[in-house]
Amino acid sequence: MIKVILWDIDGTLLSFKLAERAAIRACFEKFGLGEITDGMLAEYSAINARYWKRLELGELTKQQVLRGRFEEFFAAYRLDTGCVDAFNAEYQVRLGETVVFNDNAKELVQRLRGKVKQYAVTNGTLVAQRGKLRNSGLDKLLDDVFISDVVGVEKPGKGFFDAVFAAIGHYEKDEILIVGDSLTSDIQGGNNAGILCCWYNPAGEPVPKTLRVDYDIRDLNELAEIIGLEG
């Protein structure tokens, strides 16, 4: 019986792509960098995803990710890299301003309250994640929040999950379910921690043979049936 859900935030409960696009557009306007086209946004998104994956693989530090993605992107479009640090700081704030739930997930979290414990587990920066949680209302709906900047270890590191388990109290591993969209962060992390893993996979991509995926879902509301929630 599942008693605990560990929710990923970006790309799972909340649409990261919409927040990312809004934040980049706002920052381009604030820093007077001109128009950012859809093609440029797509290029940045690809660069950003690649940097975060390298973080999850242990190849880069968080600071190398935050700075390096913008240095590469700015250089590709011959923009002034001198404002990278200020741009990134503003970007973290702006990321928390656009809140769009995937699959009406707020109603799902509300429905699950009191039936299972629910915690956020995220690698996002402290500024961005606190803004998202506050503006979405999730900070009041979830039982607690674990942000890697505070924990001191990134998902999928086992140390991240050890810190979570120490904080939430004792549960059997098969009573804890992580729900996330990232194979390299959430599912690999759940595998490392020995807990149940639910891959939020709306695109219906093939399940890799290299990872244990206990549940493969297209819509977050499928969790109600997985947990055995009636009505």
Annotated catalytic residues are 8
Structural Rg of the chain based on CA atoms: 18
Tracing tokens 């939020």 back to the chain, one arrives at: 200
Contact call for residues 214 and 198 (beta carbons, < 8 A): yes
Contact call for residues 230 and 218 (beta carbons, < 8 A): no
In sequence order, the 6+-apart residues with CB closer than 8 A to the CB of 2 are: 116, 175, 176, 177, 196, 226, 227
Contact call for residues 197 and 187 (beta carbons, < 8 A): yes
